[in-house]
Chains A and B, each alone.
Chain A
């Protein structure tokens, strides 16, 4: 069974801190890994997509890495802001004949307080 685990489940930090969110997966047959942000009651916003041939992607204060050998991805948020408060989800994409189906982790609830 393909599983995706996110640690920690919740994180509360003061504004300005650098932080790391972790995502691990049990199946190494990974095609893509995508990080999303979800605000309360809203849909998912794509943050970063890492293809299996890549090791990392960067967008602004966000950096995501992928280590297939260890089955891990990390999302690094630099200089956190209260506006970063949201649930962060990672999703593993197996590719091949799976028609792009994503397997999601349970998410990390991030609170950045002023």
Chain B
């Protein structure tokens, strides 16, 4: 069966520090991978998606970047965090449209 792992679950980082959130998928190959952010009082916003290794598309201009070094690994990064980067970050994967999306458990990031 397919599973998706996200870590860490919770993170508190000072302004200006770097960030690295990791997401891995098991039990499938060549999935589409997505990073969403859920800010307080706001809906889910798509940040990045990837349809293959090294292929990254950004949806909104921001302080973050994403990378896909392996087929089932998706990393969200920042060189210098801003207060506005705080939020709940969710990784998701999709292999076939008929099965829809599967989300990870999320990372709660608080920038202080």
Number of A-B contacts (CB under 8 A): 62
Contact of B100 among A32, A43, A106, A107 (CB under 8 A): A32
Looking at A32, A95, A105, the one whose CB has the most chain B CB atoms below 10 A away is A32
A76 at the interface (CB under 8 A from B): no
B44 at the interface (CB under 8 A from A): yes
B32 at the interface (CB under 8 A from A): yes
A41 at the interface (CB under 8 A from B): yes
Report the Cα distance A51→B97, complex, angstroms.
Answer: 9
- Are A89 and B106 neighbours in the complex by a CB distance under 8 Å? no
Report the Cα distance A84→B42, complex, angstroms.
Answer: 22
Query: If the complex has contacts A99-B49, A101-B46, A107-B43, are A49 and B100 also in contact, measured as CB distance less than 8 A?
Result: yes
Report the Cα distance A34→B34, complex, angstroms.
Answer: 16
A51 contact set on B, CB distance < 8 A: 97-98
- Are B99 and A49 neighbours in the complex by a CB distance under 8 Å? yes
User: How close is A93's CB to chain B, nearest CB, in angstroms?
Assistant: 7
B7 at the interface (CB under 8 A from A): no
- Are B97 and A95 neighbours in the complex by a CB distance under 8 Å? yes
Could you list which residues of chain B lie within 8 angstroms of chain A, going by C-beta atoms?
A: 6, 32, 34, 42-44, 46, 49, 51, 57, 59, 88, 90, 92, 94, 97-106, 108
20 A-B pairs (CB sep. < 8 Å): A31-B97, A32-B97, A34-B100, A41-B88, A41-B106, A42-B105, A43-B105, A46-B102, A49-B98, A89-B43, A89-B44, A91-B44, A91-B101, A93-B97, A93-B100, A99-B32, A99-B57, A100-B101, A102-B34, A104-B43
